[in-house]
Amino acid sequence: MYPSGNDPDTGDSEKWGLYIKENPPRLVALGRLYEGSTTIHDIHLRNDQVKVGVEEVRDADAPIPVPTQEVQLVGHTLNTFVACPTHLLN
């Protein structure tokens, strides 16, 4: 599912679209995968989640798929990491 050559330490991969569940799903940000990572800010990722470094926000007011106490909106994710369910990446 993920691009070959992905470096889990640097997020060296193609940009992926992060979507939220709507009908149809809506693109809200672009980011790079950190496929080898198992935690974000000391919180363990579930088996169906990956760490994404957000590089471009498309909809700042959209809710993120996996909110935390600190971050609930896509606009707060620029240049930081979020957990994203794999089925919401494309």
Q: Looking at the DSSP assignment, which residues form a beta bridge with residue 39?
A: 44
Output the six-digit token pair for 64.
């993120």
- Closest CA relative to residue 31, chosen from 63, 74, 62: 74
> Measuring CA to CA, which residue among 77, 82, 69 is closest to residue 34?
82
> Which among 11, 60, 47, 49 has a CA at the least distance from the CA of 31?
11
Residues 33-46 have pLDDT tens digits of 998 889 987 889 99
For the chain, what are the domain ranges? 16-88
pLDDT, tens digit, for every residue of 48-73? 999 999 999 999 999 999 998 889 99
The CA R_g of the chain, rounded to the nearest whole Å, is 12
Pairing of strands 49-57, 43-44: unpaired
Q: What is the pLDDT of residue 90?
A: 92
